[in-house]
Amino acid sequence: MIFYVARRVATAVLVVAGVIILTFVIARVVPGDPAATWAGPHASAAQVAAARKFLGLDRPPAVQLASYFGGILTGSWGLSIHTHRPVLSDIGAAAPASLELVTAALIIALVIAVPLGLISARWPGRAADHSIRAGSILGVSMPIFWLALILQLVFSQRLRLLPAAGEFSPSLLFTHPLTRITGFGLIDAPLTGNWAMFGSILGHLLLPALVVAAYPAGLIARLVRAQVLDTIGETHVQMVRALGFPERTVFGRFAMKLAWNPVAAALALVFGYSLVNTFLVEAIFDWPGLGEYATASIQTLDTPAILGVTLFIALIYVAANLIVDIVQAAIDPRIRLR
Amino acid sequence: MIEAPTPFPAEAGTLPRGPALRRGLRANPLLVAGAAGSVLILAVAVLAPLIAPFPADAGAATHPFAVLRPPSAQHWFGTDDVGRDIFSRVIYGARISPLVAVVVLFIACVIGLPLGLLAGYFGGWLDEAIMRVTDIFLAFPPLLLALAFAAVLPASLTTVVIAIAVTWWPWYTRLIRGQAASVAGRPYIEACRALGISRWRILHSHVLPNSITPLTVQVSLDIGGVILTASALSFLGLGAQDPTPDWGLMVAEGQNYFTTAWWVVTFPGLAILFTAFTFNLFGDGLRDLLDPKRTFLR
């Protein structure tokens, strides 16, 4: 097991090094002059040259790559061209809101998709199965930026059931101001006993989380169906049936047990996908997370910020996959031997 | 001359024929629906000039006296902020999204397939080198890497195609590598080698045809995903630019008016959803028909 973990961590470190090099290469592809963008439209030639020197762009590529590496390892991820603040502290300020949004979305997706997948596998080939499969394919086919606009239109503009945008209602800023401790609003509010704020954040979170949940819900429902159908014929499940357990228990407890492993792996994968999907949703709902930061950076052609966010999400994604692999190997010894 | 033997009867990957095909289709109404929808979209794309009531509106036409009209008998989907007929633009959009998907997947195959074959058949250091590079690309969620590439290139449809293709090929390399590696160990390949057939000929005439089926299935499964990714890039302003009737771009343009003019956003978005949905139904059903046992994760 120790050997497996060591090997897996070593590969992850190599991949991270590759990821850093790839983001550097993308940054070098930029047509146009980052120094000129940095200095602004009316800068003189001398100012642009000074900016080039300041940004280190006058050095040979190999030296730039080395200092880029060093910078990333020591936590200086460059300065945002747009906000002129360190990219890493911008990301640190924005990340909690996105992690909250994605976690909420994945919880919603699990609660909806696992029962649907089980129902689908329970009566394969029937009308319920066909409609659940069609529904899950609809989920993974959803242009979520469009879904976000439509839900906002229906639930906020027309029905006035849910707030349209923001993290909480602005009036609470005066009556119940939020004290930031962890940066996660949903943790800080209850910690400080600020229940009015907690409720307001939940209400604002619901619509964007539903939108982000569309893709994972479709994926998980399909996965649960396929896994349960795979295991239902196995001897130990037949045995449980023969012992006279009700069908509900056979599916919900025994067949589902084997499906949890692939579902957990899928969750790690989908966590990364959903973080990227927030790029398409947060700006619409004005949710102050990574996605909103990234879209603003894209609009202002802020390359260091774009690459910073890209790198950050890739690191989370690699870490999530690493954790899942190790946990799975701990549970299932067959994986270690591969 | 030795013929490549047909794969083992139990092996997945051959399209069932005759009654077996009919039985498969009857058990799989989603595949039939997906195929019908895909044909419909392609027909709309080909016949766009005949179907669209205002073909000129697919381009840079302006009608200042018919701006943001709601859906009516004349304009089924209403008009946009410069008075163009949205129905006509949505129809012409059917020429863009599927074409982008086809070009992206073609490029991804052209890069991914040979690399996968080489890695799988020869193994050794070549395999290691190729697969470590794919590992790096696969460490990014696909939309993220495509976004990063598209963000540093000038906004256009070509950029969208390049950005997505560059992120898509490693999946195919990995898929083909697994297949090619398992085929390379089979006795008939051994026999080819014993007969002194050149390695390129073995690769091309024996390994390739026997490892390509999963790729065709995966490509058909990916059409919907590429369409969604491309529309997302266009929505963020990194893709097609204004007069182009690109669905993602149309949703982005309608965003500014959507509280008062819901139709500008709604119909192009429905077109994206319908297209991705039918192609996904088709790909999913095809996979079931060819290969009922394979599990999926993408």
A182-235 confidence digits (pLDDT tens): 778 777 777 777 777 787 888 888 999 999 999 999 999 989 988 888 887 778
Q: Is the Cβ pair A15, B136 closer than 8 Å?
A: yes
Q: How far apart are CA A2 and CA A10, in angstroms?
A: 12
Per-window interface: B 154-173 vs A, CB < 8 A: 154
Report the candidate in A301, A305, A232, A264 with the shortest Cα–Cα distance to residue A85.
A305
Distance from CA of A246 to the nearest CA of B (A): 27
Average the pLDDT over B54-67 and give the result: 83
CA B264 from chain centre, in angstroms, equals 26
CA distance B198 to chain A (A): 33
Which chain B residues are Cβ-neighbours of A264 within 8 angstroms?
none
pLDDT at B17 over 80: no
- Contact at 8 Å (CB) between B23 and B224? no
Residue of B nearest to A291 (CA): B144
Which of A146, A157, A309 is the best residue to mutate to test the B interface, defined by the most B CB atoms within 10 Å of its own CB?
A146
Rounded to a whole number of angstroms, the distance from the CA of A241 to the nearest CA of chain B is: 23
* Per-residue model confidence (pLDDT) at position B250: 93
H/E element holding A54? Answer: helix A45-55
Any CB–CB contact under 8 A between B149 and chain A?
Answer: yes
CA distance A60 to B35: 54
Amino acid making up residue A296: A
> B281: which chain A residues are within 8 Å (Cβ-Cβ)?
134, 137
**Closest-CA distance of chain B to residue A30, Å:** 5
Query: B178 and B113 in contact (C-beta within 8 Å)?
Result: no
pLDDT of residue A231: 81
Q: Give the helix, strand, coil percentages of chain A, each rounded to 5.
A: 75, 0, 20
Does the beta-carbon distance from B224 to A141 stay under 8 Å? yes
> Can you list the residues of chain A whose pLDDT is less than 50?
none
The pLDDT tens digits for B226-250 are 999 999 999 998 888 888 899 999 9
Q: Radius of gyration of chain A from Cα atoms?
A: 24
Whether A146 and B149 lie within 8 Å, measured CB to CB: no
Residue B41 pLDDT more than 50? yes
Question: Which of A25, A28, A137 should one mutate to test binding to chain B, selecting the residue with the greatest count of B CBs within 10 A?
Answer: A137
- At residue B296 the predicted structure's pLDDT band, cuts being 50, 70 and 90, is very low
- In this complex, do A146 and B269 lie within 8 Å of one another by their Cβ atoms? yes
Domain range list for chain B: 27-55+75-96+240-297, 97-224
Closest listed residue to residue B119, CA positions, set B224, B1, B207, B56: B207
DSSP at B55: G
Which residue out of A22, A131, A141 would a mutagenesis test of the B interface target, given it has the greatest number of B Cβ atoms within 10 Å? A141
Proportion of chain B above pLDDT 90, given as a percent: 42
Tens of pLDDT along B122-181?
888 999 899 989 989 988 888 888 988 888 888 899 999 999 999 999 999 999 998 898
The neighbouring-strand residues paired with B106 are none
Tell me whether B257 touches chain A (CB under 8 Å).
Answer: no
With an 8 Å Cβ cutoff, are B147 and A310 in contact? yes
How far B293 CA lies from chain A's nearest CA (Å)?
Answer: 8
Question: Does B218 score more than 80 pLDDT?
Answer: yes
Cα separation, A120 vs A129, in Å, equals 4
Which residues in A lie closer than 8 A to residue B266 (C-beta atoms)?
150
Report helix angle B213-235 to B142-152, nearest 10.
50
Yes or no, beta carbons of B152 and A314 under 8 Å apart: no
Q: Is B115 exposed, middle or buried (0-12, 13-18, 19+ CB in 10 A)?
A: buried
pLDDT of residue B72: 87
B251 touches A at CB < 8 Å? yes
pLDDT of residue B47 exceeding 60, the answer is yes
CB interface of B with A, residues 31-50, below 8 Å: none
B26 touches chain A (CB under 8 A): no
Contact indicator for B263, B250 with CB cutoff of 8 Å: no
With contacts defined as CB-CB under 8 Å, which chain B residues touch A10? none
- The number of C-beta contacts closer than 8 angstroms across A and B is 148
Nearest-by-Cβ selection for A141 from B255, B277, B296 = B277
pLDDT at B35 > cutoff 70: yes
- Rounded to the nearest angstrom, the gap between the alpha carbon of residue B214 and the centroid of all alpha carbons in its chain is 15
Mean per-residue pLDDT, B189-217: 88
Cβ-Cβ contacts under 8 Å, A266 against chain B: 297
Q: Does B286 touch chain A (CB under 8 A)?
A: no
pLDDT of residue A32: 62
Q: Which two tokens stand for residue A163?
A: 């707030």
Q: Is the ipTM of this complex over 0.90?
A: no
Residue A176, Ramachandran bin (φ over 0: left; ψ between -120 and 50: alpha; else beta)? beta
Alpha-carbon gap: A247 to the closest alpha carbon of chain B (Å): 24
The Cα B209–Cα B186 span in angstroms is 14
B15 touching A (Cβ < 8 Å): no
Which one of A98, A145, A160, A223 makes the best mutation probe of the B interface by having the most chain B beta carbons within 10 Å? A145
User: B9 pLDDT band (50/70/90 cuts)?
Assistant: very low
Helix (H, G, I), strand (E, B) or coil at B79: strand
Is the pLDDT assigned to residue B4 strictly greater than 50?
Answer: no
Nearest residue of B to residue A125 by CA position?
A: B27
Taking CB atoms and an 8 Å limit, are A30 and B145 in contact across chains? no
pLDDT higher than 50, residue B261: yes
B294 pLDDT higher than 60? no
Greater model confidence, B268 or A266: B268
Are B221 and B287 within 8 A, CB to CB? yes
Residue B298 in this model has a pLDDT that exceeds 50: no
Q: What is the pLDDT of residue B6?
A: 37
Cβ contact A134–B137 (<8 Å): no
**From the CB of residue A258, how many other CB atoms can be counted at a distance below 10 Å?**
16
Distance from CA of A285 to the nearest CA of B (A): 12
pLDDT for position A301? 75
What is the rounded CA–CA span in Å between residue A212 and residue A226? 23
Instruction: Write the CATH number of the domain with boundaries B97-224.
Output: 1.10.3720.10
